[in-house]
């Protein structure tokens, strides 16, 4: 435990000699020390590499790894699934908790690929801020735009990092213009690049006017060496390269792009920093910015819209279920965002939907794939509950004062396939595996009387989700599956009176999701329009997404 946490714990123990828990003021103090954020980006923008670099600069790890593990560098700690290592992309979210400058950082890495946007949305429901990574050479890409829109809809403030400035790319002012015109986000640079993309010397610290010079380390596996100097010293060293950077920033500042904290918290504007995650350039500046500017955990609205204060008794919600993290035990972990109160391992909490008690004896802190026992947690922290078979994504747990947080909506699937066991003698493993993948949200699982229990329909936002399902079914559950694609591309929630009409048409049918929702699926928008003419108005309701 770091010195600040120990001091806070000792102070609380004096106030609460029985050790039963922290009172509201102490919980609020602990919450104020937390920063819980997600890193989001388009695929290949360097998101997992940045995650690793942040952990390196916080001294949570001794050496950074690259996604592809080139040379003597490891794979990133947040990419632990075999498919992630093989393909060099993140296909599942990961949690890393570490201490930095007296702050407890809960960093949630997210899948970059659009096929896994549903997992990213679940993560964004559990954070207080986001770091949006932009590739210097490509600017605002489609998935970047979509993820930002999710942040805007959820009221999550965004810090923008322009990555890969060590490589040739766009003009810095052009990227600022893209932020303004393409996603209607007001940029507020905190650092400004000295040198064009591909000729990166360091950054102008916009608050002090100083030059922060970066020096490469071998392979970028350790912290970059930084040297601070005055503007006059930088001009003597770099000449017009420095003065050009100063003039560009002065132009932005004079046109209203100076930092405004209220605009940032409102989501209308974003602080902007420049760097290179693979070389560890600009990473410490990002960490310092998160500690100084990102919001601490605050009151969260429950299902009725009433705020649940951080000092209220313990509450939290499940935003992710993940199995297969520990091959030795093949257990299943429920990731719970603590929303209020003081969590202590072993406490008995209540499952909001069932009213049943739930014990938390096997609570863990998560760092990528690595886990350790956690004895206590506070608002903003993420805890892992082992073998929590009774929990589902979106469930609420609470102590003392009843609360239920809003559920996390499912996206509308666009790809469908019938799943069958490749070996008929493994139906038990097949059923268990399909059920668990559905509970985790890897795919949505749909059923119909027409097809029967042995031929469920898997539904996905993107086809790569099917690859993950097939891989995990074979390697984790011992039941390889065959997938038979269905020619559907549109899904709508359907009213009961319209079900017979849908099932009577070609190119359409009704399937039932595992949560009981009846879903009508159609081959295309023309088939949907044709059926709509013959059913009562309002029979079809768009599914979230």
State the binding site for GTP. Answer: 109-113
Which tokens go with 517? 């929702």
Residues in the chain: 545
Task: Decide if 15 contacts 26 (C-beta within 8 A).
Answer: yes
**Residue 296 burial (CB count, 10 A):** 18
Binding-site members are: 109-113
Return the DSSP state at 443.
Answer: S
Using DSSP bridges, classify how beta strands 343-344 and 376-377 pair: parallel, antiparallel or unpaired: antiparallel
Return the DSSP state at 419.
Answer: E
Task: Decide if 315 contacts 403 (C-beta within 8 A).
Answer: yes
Residue with tokens 């006017």: 209
Give the C-alpha separation, 209 to 250, whole Å. 11
* Beta strand residue intervals within 282-369, DSSP E: 300-301, 307-308, 315-323, 332-340, 343-344, 348-351, 357-359, 363-367
Give the C-alpha separation, 439 to 363, whole Å. 20
231-238 and 240-254 helices, crossing angle to 10°: 130
Long-range contacts of residues 355-364, Cβ cutoff 8 Å, at least 24 apart: 356/390, 358/388, 358/390, 358/391, 358/397, 360/385, 362/386, 362/387, 364/333
């Amino acid at each position: 435990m770091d010195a600040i946490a120990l001091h806070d714990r000792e102070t609380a123990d004096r106030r609460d000699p029985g050790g039963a828990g922290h009172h509201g003021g102490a919980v609020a103090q602990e919450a104020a020390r937390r920063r819980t954020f997600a890193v989001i980006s388009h695929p290949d923008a360097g998101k997992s590499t940045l995650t690793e670099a942040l952990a390196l600069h916080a001294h949570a790890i001794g050496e950074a790894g690259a996604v592809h593990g080139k040379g003597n560098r490891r794979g990133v700690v947040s990419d632990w699934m075999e498919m992630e290592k093989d393909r060099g992309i993140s296909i599942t979210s990961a949690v890393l908790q570490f201490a930095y400058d007296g702050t407890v950082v809960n960093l949630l890495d997210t899948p970059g690929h659009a096929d896994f946007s549903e997992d990213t949305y679940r993560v964004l429901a559990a954070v207080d801020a986001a770091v949006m990574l932009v590739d210097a050479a490509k600017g605002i890409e489609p998935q970047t735009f979509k993820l930002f829109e999710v942040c805007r809809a959820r009221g999550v403030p965004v810090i923008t990092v322009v990555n890969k400035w060590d490589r040739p790319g766009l003009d810095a002012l052009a990227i600022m213009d893209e932020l303004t015109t393409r996603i209607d986000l007001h940029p507020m640079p905190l650092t400004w690049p000295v040198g064009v993309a591909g000729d990166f010397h360091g950054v102008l610290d916009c608050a002090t006017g100083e030059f922060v010079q970066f020096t490469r380390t071998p392979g970028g596996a350790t912290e970059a060496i930084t040297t601070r100097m005055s503007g006059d010293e930088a001009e003597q060293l770099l000449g017009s390269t420095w003065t050009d950077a100063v003039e560009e920033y002065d132009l932005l500042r004079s046109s209203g792009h100076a930092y405004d904290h209220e605009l940032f918290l409102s989501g209308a504007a974003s602080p902007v920093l420049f760097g290179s995650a693979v070389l560890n350039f600009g990473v410490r500046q990002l960490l310092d910015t998160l500690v100084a500017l990102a919001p601490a955990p605050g009151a969260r609205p429950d299902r009725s819209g009433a705020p649940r204060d951080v000092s209220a008794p313990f509450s939290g919600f499940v935003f992710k279920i993940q199995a297969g993290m520990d091959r030795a035990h093949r257990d299943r972990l429920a990731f719970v965002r603590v929303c209020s109160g003081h969590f202590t391992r072993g406490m008995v909490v209540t499952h909001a939907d069932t009213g049943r008690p739930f014990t938390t004896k096997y609570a863990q802190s998560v760092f990528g794939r690595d886990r350790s026992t956690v004895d206590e947690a506070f608002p903003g922290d993420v805890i892992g509950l082992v073998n929590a078979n009774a929990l589902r994504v979106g469930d609420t747990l609470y102590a003392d004062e009843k609360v239920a947080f809003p559920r996390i909506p499912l996206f509308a699937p666009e790809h469908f396939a019938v799943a069958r066991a490749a070996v008929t003698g493994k139906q038990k493993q097949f059923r268990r595996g399909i059920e668990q993948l559905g509970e985790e949200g890897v795919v949505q699982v749909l059923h119909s009387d027409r097809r029967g229990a042995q031929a469920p329909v898997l539904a996905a936002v993107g086809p790569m989700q099917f690859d993950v399902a097939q891989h995990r079914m074979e390697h984790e559950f011992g039941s390889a599956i065959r997938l038979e694609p269905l020619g559907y591309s549109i899904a709508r929630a359907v009213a009961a009176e319209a079900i017979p009409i849908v099932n009577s048409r070609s190119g359409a049918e009704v399937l039932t999701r595992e949560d009981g929702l009846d879903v009508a699926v159609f081959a295309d928008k023309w088939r949907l329009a044709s059926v709509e003419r013959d059913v009562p108005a309002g029979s079809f309701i768009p599914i979230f997404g």
